[in-house]
Structure 1
Amino acid sequence: MGNYQFDRRTFLKSAAGLGALVTLPGLAKRAFADQGEITLLTWETYQDDPWIAEYTEKTGVKIKAVRSGSIDEMFATVQSGAISPDVIYFDTGTANRFKNSGLIAPFDASQVPNRSNIASSMDWEAKATIDGTLYALPYNWGNQPLMYDADATGGEPQSWDALWDPKYAGKVNLFDDGYVVMQMIALKIKAADPFNLTDEEFEACADALRTLRPQVNTIARGFDDALTIYAAGDAVIGYCQNISIVNKLKSLGKNFAYTFPQEGTPTWLDCAVLTERGRRKEVYDFINETLTPTWQARFISTNSNNGVLSPEAAAKAGVSPEALANTNILDQTEDGFWNKMVISKLPEDIDRRVAMWNDFKAGTL
């Protein structure tokens, strides 16, 4: 078992109001022959070390979890050969980028019978299919809303424009992921298609970033950085990387909330995606285990992730009402919820977007 990180991003292991952790039954320690090793390229909170240890005890299969800090970092790591993973966890909007570079392989969903536990409302197959071939299987979904300190804002902002409000100068926070932040910027300028910008819209994004820079004092390098920044009062409004940050701030007595702006909210569907070396039975078996109601309930309850279960299935599996309230699982049952979400797609030119983001950080835009 391995626990590796590329940056200092460390997730907050608890969130406000979460119920008792869900434990896996029947995991008494047994002796197994070595069944090989699986390398995951994944995120904090997705497969916690104790869960990996339990799975190894149960099956004899060793799991090495390499935890990354951004999509760009994941892509560069695999492309360079620095890591040779069996499974990579990223959103459906990124899949084409990896496929076009020959880094991933088709996914045989018949090897994962627990895919039947994925909520039917997710309509995931179309999103995980490229040119008629399935490449991914959902594990988690979420969004990046607008978060704010209600005491400082005096109410609920309705638009991304709030980040540009002069009264928040030096008090706006963003997280360091150009792939995702540029989606929000494209929505803010009301691009006709936020994933297919024209040259004029690219220039409008550049103008928006230039005027946003004086608003931003610090860019968060992960969940822990964001928590520290907001808790210290160094930011009162920002682009939220994960709603668990809001939940933790609430548990600290801070009056934080999040909202879905009228222009739309970037939304992702993270999936297990295989490399060619990952097309092995023990890899499919591991992915199958992570889609059991028991695993998913613990995944949801422990770290405020949405997982893939329906609200009814999550509750039946033991997710408490308090834990559900700290996710978007119940939100999706509201009329018009998905109309407010903008599902990530492969943009027209990732390199151009990332270069613009890097120029923004360097102050050379």
Structure 2
Amino acid sequence: MSDLFASVKLDRRAVLKTGVAAAAGALAAPYLIRPAMADDTIVLLTWETYHDDPWIEEWSKANNTKVQAIRIGSEDELFQQPFSGAVQPDVMYIETGSLPRFKAGGLIVDFDVSQLPNAKNITPKLDWKKYASIDGKVQAVPYNWGTQPLMYNADVVKDPTSWAELWKPEYQGKVNMFDDCTITFPMIALYVGAKDPFNLTDDEFKKCEDALRELRKQVRVIARGFDDASTIYAAGDAVIGYCQNVAVVASLNAKGKNFKYSLPKEGTPTWIDCAGVSKKGDRPIVYKFLNDNLSPEWQARFIKASSNNGVLSADAARSAGVPEETMKVTNLLDAEDASFWEKLVVYQKNEDLDRRLQIWNDFKAGTL
């Protein structure tokens, strides 16, 4: 059992791919900046499904600028890559809770939102500047957001409303989790009743340790990614778990299964992935790329292809051509209800990442 926990790796954003829609002409339209030089290159540290090769090849040709997408699998890998010396990124896609870490590490510079007129397309429901600013200065701009709810087999589990379901004896050996301390620990903190899941007291840390010790016997194996999680649930080896993306539920239902997700009463961890620029990336052609990424045409293609939320409102997504059946497997319709946002807990900087990592590693090793 220890080996199963110790050897896995997760890409939490690896989501269902339903095909790539045809590119809209607006994506290749000229933009009033200096002419791009042929030897310009934009290096992205991005996630699976965020920038598919045909999209960036199309943009590269239209703008006489090469875009190189390096796809990473975790927030820790994203942070470490620039220090390796092998990669010098212009743009990094960072969840808001990690922005202070990247800023302190000198990996990003203040973001010039004035160079992104398409930032007006970001749904006003997403209070992104609150989470993407440090000392009053914007550090990055959203590209995608999503929830990490409680997912379950509705034929087995009936209308769960609390994270406590994961600890119920009847689900021993049938709970699925994924290996990402930064993303998982806040859920554990919410379950134990922490006042602030990102700033735990010593007593709350102890409660989290106790909760993880009990949870370990509930989980037979941690999923190695999206496909692995889908396979585990489809085979009946798990009936309930912490969902890495609601598209997991959609993929299972597409296979004829009856899966649902719920937003527990304690709160649902929620991420906003934002594009931050490095000192090297602080140049007009990079901002043009990021601006085009926020056009309704680009965002609609991204939503249709990946079942992610993107940054458009439901009405804007419809107008850009996102079909209703796709909207239903995202959070876009949910997000129109004000009460929906009250149930969400957006990731923020935590008090001691090293301490959390040690506890998480002890959980996986069974040494808590």
Partner secondary structure for residue 197 of structure 2: coil
**Unaligned ranges ≥5, structure 1:** 1-6
1:27, 1:201 → 2: CA distance? 49
Whether the 8 Å contact between 1:72 and 1:177 is mirrored in structure 2 is no
**Please, what is the CA RMSD of the aligned residues?**
1.8
- Tell me which residue corresponds to 1:3: none
Distance 1:140 1:8 in 2: 19
Indicate whether 1:151 and 2:155 are aligned: yes
Report if aligned partners of 1:56, 1:63 keep a CA contact under 8 Å in 2: yes
Query: Is there any run of 5+ residues in structure 2 with no aligned partner, and where?
Result: 1-8, 29-35
Contact 2:296/2:316 (8 A) holds in 1: yes
Say yes or no: does 1:77 pair with 2:81: yes
Give the Cα–Cα distance (whole angstroms) in 1 for the partners of residues 128 and 26 of structure 2: 31
Q: Which amino acid aligns with 2:139?
A: Y
Question: TM-score by structure 2 length?
Answer: 0.91
**Aligned-residue offset at 1:120:** 1.7
1:41 — aligned with what?
A: 45
Maintained 8 Å contact 1:14/1:248: no
Alignment of 1:241-320 (within 5 A): 241-320=244-323
1:164 corresponds in structure 2 to: 167
The alpha-carbon distance between structure 1 residues 352 and 80, as it changes in their structure 2 partners (threshold 3 A), is: farther
Mapped to 2, the partners of 1:203 and 1:127 lie a distance apart of 28
Structure 2 residue matching 1:201: 3-state secondary structure = helix
Q: Describe the SS at the equivalent of 1:52.
A: helix
1:69 Cα deviation from its structure 2 partner:
1.3
Say whether residues 1:141 and 2:125 are aligned partners: no
1:13, CA displacement in angstroms?
4.7
Shift of 1:27: 7.5
SS at the partner of 2:217? helix
Q: Does 1:192 align with 2:176?
A: no
1:174 pairs with 2:177: yes
Q: 1:187 to 1:82 in 2, by over 3 A?
A: farther
Instruction: Name the amino acid aligned to 1:21.
Output: A
Percent identity reads 55
- Aligned 1:1-365 pairs, distance under 5 A: 11=14, 13-15=16-18, 21-25=21-25, 34-153=38-157, 155-365=158-368
Q: CA deviation at 1:34?
A: 1.7
Q: Deviation of residue 130 (structure 1)?
A: 0.3
Number of paired residues?
352
Q: Which sits farther off after the overlay, 221-230 or 292-301?
A: 221-230
3-state SS of paired residue (1:141): strand
Contact 2:27–2:295 under 8 Å retained in 1:
no
